[in-house]
Amino acid sequence: MPDILDTVRKWITQLVELGLLLIAIGIVVQILFGRDVAFLPGDIVGNIINVVDKLGDGGLAGLIALGIIVWLFWRRKLFGSGSSGQ
């Protein structure tokens, strides 16, 4: 049973990393070529700005949410670096 959980955890980790890479590529492309890129649906940079604005408007709840997001990324880096050597 732990083997199945490890496999699922690895798949989810890889999907999240792929999503973060796609977001990073989208940001770079929109910075270089502007918001109206034919192969990118939507405004990635604008959506990120909206999320940051909503977290800022949320006051204490926004700070708590931001803290959770930062903690999740920090935790992923902490555990991700140890498992890559196996």
What one-character DSSP code corresponds to residue 86?
-
Write the pLDDT tens digit of every residue in 73-85. 776 665 555 444 4
- The Cα 59–Cα 65 span in angstroms is 10
Q: Which residues contact 62 (CB under 8 A, 6 or more apart)?
A: 54, 55, 56
Please report, for the chain, the start and end positions of each structural domain, with discontinuous segments joined by +. Answer: 2-83
User: pLDDT (tens digit, 9 = 90+) per residue, 17-56?
Assistant: 888 888 888 888 888 887 777 777 778 778 878 887 887 7
For residues 29 and 62, which has the higher predicted lDDT (pLDDT)? 29
Cβ partners under 8 Å of residue 34, min gap 6: none
pTM above threshold 0.85: no
Residue 35 identity (one-letter amino acid): R
Radius of gyration of the chain (CA): 17
Confidence band for 1, pLDDT divided at 50, 70 and 90? low
